[in-house]
Amino acid sequence: MRPKPFLDLIAERTVIFDGAMGTMLLNAGLSSGAIPELWNIEKPEVVQNVHRQYYEAGADVVHTNTFGGTAIKLQQKGLADKMGTINKTAVTIARRVCPDHAFVAGDLGPTGKMIKPLGDAEMDELEAAFYQQATALLQGGADLISIETMFSLQEAVAAVRGAKKAGNCPIIAATTFNKTPNGYFTIMGESVAQCISAFETESVDIIGSNCTLGSRDMIDLAGEMRSLTTKPILLQPNAGKPVQQNGGVIYKQTAAEFADDIRQIVDAGADLVGGCCGTNADFIKAIAAVLE
Ligand SMILES: [Zn+2]
């Protein structure tokens, strides 16, 4: 049994999440274009090692390696029939290295499909895919469901509804914003206020944002979100802005710079913090140190 319910921990102190999974697996030899979620079955020890590094760095919560784990997304690689196994195994891998006081968040990411009229997907179809995935994650033993990197508020809402049907657990919903001269918006043009209002209507427990923005650009975002909701806020920025180098993309921000920004993000109102693209265990260690 968990010693303390997840939502109680948030009330007590700032909660630390993990950093990137994708970039860590690429560094461990995953070829770009390969399916990261397949490594839950083929190379579980590598995925488990990433989780272990984050827990040892001070993370209270790690995300399962299931970002692209809906049947819709896996279908594009002919792997829809492995949906249940991939998601259940992902939780098992994280659970094996999860300390008694820590948690495992079942990760739901975008399906890659757009909802009508921009795309050909129906809201119900996405909700059903998220329901299936969340069910597998909860059957595997996830403590909570974390919906992340959503570029479309509608898809995020479909994920929340699917997750709620799957079981009674804390739910995080995080959209991805771009910074524009007029403020922060999703790619679909939804404002911070629109996202927060929709998530409050759906009764999510924690409202968040992750990816695309670097830590510096999330300081103001934290303040804006805090002014719009009393719910706990999760922010997981990238390690600054990516720069092109040798045909690839790299992140140049240091862990110390990142952690200094995180300190300000917490002061501006975030209750839960972690990292996204370009971050690693050193970044989480640095966050844990500045929040001490
Ligand atoms: Zn990211």
The per-residue pLDDT for range 96-109, each reduced to its tens digit, is 999 999 999 999 99
- For the entire predicted model, the pTM comes to 0.96
Instruction: Sort 230 into a burial class: Cβ within 10 Å, 0-12 / 13-18 / 19+.
Output: exposed
Closest CA to 197 of 231, 169, 159: 231
pLDDT tier, 122 (very low <50, low <70, confident <90, very high otherwise): very high
Distance 249 CA to ligand 1 centre (A): 13
Residues 40 and 93 sit within 8 Å (Cβ to Cβ): yes
Average pLDDT, the chain: 96
Distance 142 CA to ligand 1 centre (A): 21
Residue 104: count other Cβ atoms within 10 Å of its Cβ: 26
Distance 1 CA to ligand 1 centre (A): 31
Averaged pLDDT, 52-63: 98
d(CA 97, CA 284) in angstroms, rounded, equals 17
Distance 24 CA to ligand 1 centre (A): 12
Distance 214 CA to ligand 1 centre (A): 9
d(CA 55, CA 61) in angstroms, rounded, equals 8
Distance 242 CA to ligand 1 centre (A): 11
In tens, the pLDDT along 143-173 reads: 999 999 999 999 999 999 999 999 999 999 9
Distance 258 CA to ligand 1 centre (A): 14
Distance 205 CA to ligand 1 centre (A): 22
Alpha helices in 167-216 (DSSP H): 192-201
Minimum mean pLDDT range among 4-13, 45-54, 201-210, 222-231: 4-13
Whether residue 1 is predicted with pLDDT greater than 60 in this model: the reply is no
In tens, the pLDDT along 211-252 reads: 999 999 999 999 999 999 999 999 999 999 888 888 778 898
Distance 3 CA to ligand 1 centre (A): 31
Distance 88 CA to ligand 1 centre (A): 23
Contacts of 96 (CB under 8 A, 6+ apart): 48
3-state secondary structure of 291: helix
Distance 29 CA to ligand 1 centre (A): 19
* Residues with a beta carbon under 5 angstroms from ion ligand 1: 211, 276-277
d(CA 173, CA 189) in angstroms, rounded, equals 17
Distance 224 CA to ligand 1 centre (A): 21
Distance 11 CA to ligand 1 centre (A): 26
Distance 236 CA to ligand 1 centre (A): 8
Distance 173 CA to ligand 1 centre (A): 15
Tokens standing for residue 272: 């839960």
Minimum mean pLDDT range among 54-68, 203-217, 245-259, 262-276: 245-259
Distance 171 CA to ligand 1 centre (A): 19
Distance 265 CA to ligand 1 centre (A): 17
Contacts of 131 (CB under 8 A, 6+ apart): 161, 162, 163, 165, 166
d(CA 266, CA 223) in angstroms, rounded, equals 9
